[in-house]
Each structure stands twice: as structure tokens, then as C-alpha cells.
Structure 1
Amino acid sequence: MDLNRTPSQIADATAEEVRALNHRTLDPKAYAQPGDVSDVANAVSALLQRLPQALEQMEAGLGALAGRGAIRMDDGTDVQDRVEAALVWLADTREQVQLASSAMQKATSPLSHMGGLWEDDGADVEA
């Protein structure tokens, strides 16, 4: 874990890795076995479980900046109004991610019991 990067750099790297995953799995054949789907689902589940804390800490960081008067607006709007709006939407996002995390955990349950066919199963499986 490289903690010598800024929070923005870490978030950007995370977004780029998800982008790479999306590109790599455009072809469904990227998943050679059910276990591959399960492994990715478990990793995405872990990501979703960790995001609420990141969002909560963004809320705290924004609140601290606002509390010290360290924010200005470049569009002439009221700082406090915009901070409050951002905090509401961050909290809403956190709640929605928690719901997504719960759903993803449910998806990983059946996936964890799936395996590929044995060669002697006699089933013709197209690659």
C-alpha cells in the first residue's frame, strides 16, 4: 500500500484500474471459468465495502475545510450553501453504495459455489 500519494492520485488510480477491468472484460471470453467471475465479484464486493468509509472521510475533510474557512467559490455562489449541498449528496452516495455493497455480497454467495466442468463430465462446452 503506497500511502505517499495524495488522496486524489489514489482515487484516480482506482478509477483507471476499474476502466482497465471494463476494457479487459468487454469480451465475455475473458472469463475462462466460473471461478474467474467469482474472483472478480469478490474484489468488486471488497471495493464496494470500502467505498462508504472513503465517502465518509471526504465528508469529514470537506467539513473541516469549511470549518476553517478554507473554501472559496469561483462561481459567486455561497460557500456554506454549496458545502451543505455537497455533504448531502456525499451522504446520499454513501447510502446508495452501501445498498450496492449489500446486493453485491448476495451475488457473491452463489458465485462462490460455482466451478467449471470436469473434462470427464462429457458435456460439450464451447470456448
Structure 2
Amino acid sequence: MVAANRARNQRLAAARRAEAQARAEEAIRMFQGQVMPEFRPPAGKLWGVNVKALMVTGPGGGIGTSAAMARVLAPLAAGGRHDETEVAAATGCRDVTDLRERLTGIAGKLAAIGLRVDRRKVGIRIAKAKPTLPTPQAS
């Protein structure tokens, strides 16, 4: 009985992992379809944000974003690490948790243009993404 339950739980966990992997691959394809490769960041910068055009640009091109997200990313475009509480206060976020949720929400778009959010104790910054695209599964 215990072995049967364990096997069933392992099958369910594997099915959940496969479903999550499929969702992640679909999200990557969706965001990659939105990337405009002809847009590049400002000269000498890894990335940039144009608040008026609602565009974030990175090594992989540009991608559109909302006005709220452009306002959150604008202070981070200055380069270097930034204190989360200061960024949250400057961008109109309720608190640091709200800022983290917003940055987590845009992580997929940032990844599509070759960027990632780098959070450490000393502060947050936008950094170049590590190449970690999913590899096709052997059948």
C-alpha cells in the first residue's frame, strides 16, 4: 500500500513538473515573439528603459512594457546596485514586497531580451541573463 502511494505520488509530481515545464516553454516563446531585435540599449549601457515609449531595451532587443513597470525600472537604469527600500519609495510601490512582486512579474520579459533581476543583500540591479533556455526533451 505504501509503495503504491509512493509510486502514485511520484507520477503526480512528474506530471506537475512536465506541465510546469510546458508552461514555461510557452511563456518563453510568447515573450520571444514580442521582442523587437532592431531596438538596442543606449551606447555603452547593458540595458535601458524609455519611459515615454514604454520600451525596455537589452542585449537581445527591445520589448514593450506598461507605464507602471517603466517607472519601476527607470531608477535601476542608472546602473549599479540600489537599495530596495529607496527604489520602492521612489517608484510608488507600497513596500519592498510590492517591488519584488513587480520585478518578479516582469522577469519573463527581461529574460526574453537577455536580462535578469539580481537581488542581493547589498541591493538590486538588472544584470545580463545567464543563458538557461530549456533544452528539448529526448523522446
| TM-score, structure 1 normalization | 0.25
User: Which structure has greater helix proportion?
Assistant: 1
Higher-RCO chain (CA-CA 8 Å, sequence separation at least 6):
1
Compare CA radii of gyration and give the structure with the larger one. Answer: 1
User: Which structure has greater strand proportion?
Assistant: 2
| TM-score, structure 2 normalization | 0.23
